[in-house]
């Protein structure tokens, strides 16, 4: 069966510090991978998606970037965090933009 | 821009009552999904509906896809405190997943 791992679960970072969130998927090959951000108790905003190694599409201009160095690894990064980067970040995998299967999420607080 | 509007945004009811959550759009979707999310966790897929007019049941939850595949509803019978959570709908159109803003549901014992 497929599983998705996302870490860390919570993170507190100072303004201007770098960020690296990692997500890995097991039990499937060549998945579509997604990074979402979610405001408290609300819907999901798609940040990045990837259909293959090294292929990244950005949906929203921002202070963040994403990379996919391996088939089942997706990384969300920032060189300098802003206060507005605080939020709940979710990694997900899927096939051909159908159902999405989510990790447990990372609560990022920028202070 | 494709939009998927969920209503109500927030619902707080007593245990045992029935409720319906709606998901509406002017766009046609090839399929539509419902997810449930608990605080601090990722959304979990509940059901996918594909055919216009399709009805699926998951215990006390009934999901319906509109005949024109532009809207969907989630009906919960005899709600329980364990049903509390954020319910999200998502539609697939043009190979993209379009998300609703969610319905926050609280069931009071």
pLDDT digits over A49-103, tens only?
999 999 999 888 678 999 999 999 999 999 999 999 999 999 999 986 678 999 9
The chain-wide mean pLDDT, for chain A, equals: 92
The architecture (CATH level 2) of B5-108 comes to: Sandwich (2.60)
CA distance A38 to chain B (A): 10
**3-class DSSP state for residue A83?**
helix
Domain ranges of chain A: 3-110
Write down the pLDDT at residue A97.
Answer: 64
10 Å CB burial of residue A67 (0-12, 13-18, 19+) is middle
* A22 neighbors A7 (Cβ within 8 angstroms): yes
Which residue from B minimizes the CA distance to A44? B99
Spell out the SS3 assignment of chain B. Answer: CCCCEEECCEEEEECCCCEEEEEECCCCCCEEEEEEECCCCCCEEEEEECCCCCEEEECCEEEEECCCCCEEEEEECCCCHHHCEEEEEEEEECCEEEECCCEEEEEEC
Mean pLDDT along residues B74-91: 97
The rounded distance, in Å, linking the Cα atoms of B58 and A14 is: 44
Write down the pLDDT at residue A95.
Answer: 80
- In this structure, are strands A44-52 and A32-38 parallel, antiparallel, or unpaired? antiparallel
Check whether B1 has a pLDDT greater than 70.
Answer: no
Which residues on A lie below 8 Å from B90 (Cβ)? 100
Domain ranges of chain B: 5-108
> Residue B3's pLDDT band (boundaries 50, 70, 90)?
confident
Which residue from A minimizes the CA distance to B93? A97
Contact B88 A99 (CB under 8 A): no
Which residue from B minimizes the CA distance to A92? B42
Write down the pLDDT at residue B77.
Answer: 98
**3-class DSSP state for residue A85?**
helix
The rounded distance, in Å, linking the Cα atoms of B72 and B55 is: 10
Write down the pLDDT at residue B45.
Answer: 95
Write down the pLDDT at residue A35.
Answer: 95
Check whether A42 has a pLDDT greater than 90.
Answer: no
In this predicted model, which residue has the larger pLDDT, B81 or A42?
A: B81
> CB count, 10 Å around CB of B66?
19
Check whether B60 has a pLDDT greater than 70.
Answer: yes
Sign of the Cα torsion A22, A26, A30, A31 reads negative
CA distance A40 to chain B (A): 9
Write down the pLDDT at residue A39.
Answer: 84
CA distance A69 to chain B (A): 23
Check whether A16 has a pLDDT greater than 90.
Answer: yes
Total residue count of chain B as it appears in this document:
109
pLDDT digits over A93-103, tens only?
998 667 899 99
CA–CA–CA angle A34, A98, B36 (5° rounding)? 80
CA–CA–CA angle B63, B69, B70 (5° rounding)? 95
Mean pLDDT along residues B24-53: 94
Which residue from B minimizes the CA distance to A45? B99
Kindly state the tokens that stand for B78: 């005899």
Nearest to A99 among B33, B40, B86 (CB): B33
Q: Does 3.40.50.1370 match the CATH number of domain A3-110?
A: no
The rounded distance, in Å, linking the Cα atoms of A98 and B90 is: 9
Chain B residues with a Cβ under 8 Å from any Cβ in chain A: 6, 31, 33, 40-45, 48, 86, 88, 90, 92, 95-97, 99-102, 104
């Amino acid at each position: 069966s497929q599983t998705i791992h996302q870490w860390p679960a919570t993170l507190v970072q100072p303004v201007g510090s770098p960020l690296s969130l990692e997500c890995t998927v097991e039990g499937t090959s060549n998945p579509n991978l997604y990074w979402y951000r979610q405001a408290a108790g609300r819907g999901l905003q798609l940040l990045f998606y990837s259909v293959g190694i090294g292929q990244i599409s950005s949906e929203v201009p921002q202070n963040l970037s994403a990379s996919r160095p391996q088939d089942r690894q997706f990384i969300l990064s920032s060189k300098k965090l802003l206060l507005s980067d605080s939020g709940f970040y979710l990694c997900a995998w899927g096939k051909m933009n159908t159902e999405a299967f989510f990790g447990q999420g990372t609560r990022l607080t920028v202070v | 821009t494709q939009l998927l509007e969920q209503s109500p945004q927030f619902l707080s009811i007593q245990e045992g009552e029935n409720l319906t959550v709606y998901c509406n759009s002017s766009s046609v979707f090839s399929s539509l999904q419902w997810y449930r999310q608990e605080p601090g966790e990722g959304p979990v897929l509940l059901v996918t509906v594909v055919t216009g007019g399709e009805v699926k049941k998951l215990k006390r939850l009934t999901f319906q896809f509109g005949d024109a595949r532009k809207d969907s509803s989630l009906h919960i019978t005899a709600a329980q405190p364990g049903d509390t959570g954020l319910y999200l709908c998502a539609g697939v159109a043009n190979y993209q997943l379009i998300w609703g803003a969610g319905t926050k549901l609280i069931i009071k014992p």
